[in-house]
Amino acid sequence: TQVSAYRPCPKCGKIKVPYPLRTDENCGDPRYRIYCNNGALEFMSASGFYYKILSINPKANKLIIKPPLIQENTCYSSDLDQGGLMLDENLPFNISTRNTVMLFNCSDNILLSPLNCSSSSFCREFEEVGEGCGCKGTLCCHFLKDSSMTSHRIRARLGGCTAYTCVVDKKPDEPLESWNFGIELQWLPPF
Question: Residue 175 domain-assigned?
Answer: yes
Tell me the CA distances in angstroms from 41 to 11, 72, 82, 139, 183, one per residue in order. Answer: 9, 25, 20, 34, 15
Q: Is 49 domain-assigned?
A: no
Does 15 reside within a domain? no
The stretches of 64-162 forming alpha helices (DSSP H) are 122-126
* Domain assignment of residue 160, yes or no: yes
- Residue 181 belongs to domain spanning: 66-187
The dihedrals phi and psi of 132, each to the nearest 5 degrees, come to -80, -10
Where do the H-state alpha helices sit in the chain? 2-5, 122-126
Domain membership flag for residue 4: no
Largest CA-CA distance found in the chain, in angstroms, rounded: 57
- What's the whole-model pTM score? 0.93
Tens of pLDDT, residue by residue over 111-156, are 988 899 999 999 999 998 888 899 999 999 999 988 666 689 999 9
Domain count, the chain: 1
Report pLDDT digits (tens) over 56-106. 999 999 999 999 999 888 999 999 999 999 999 999 999 999 999 999 999
For the chain, helix (H) and strand (E) counts, in that order, are 2, 13
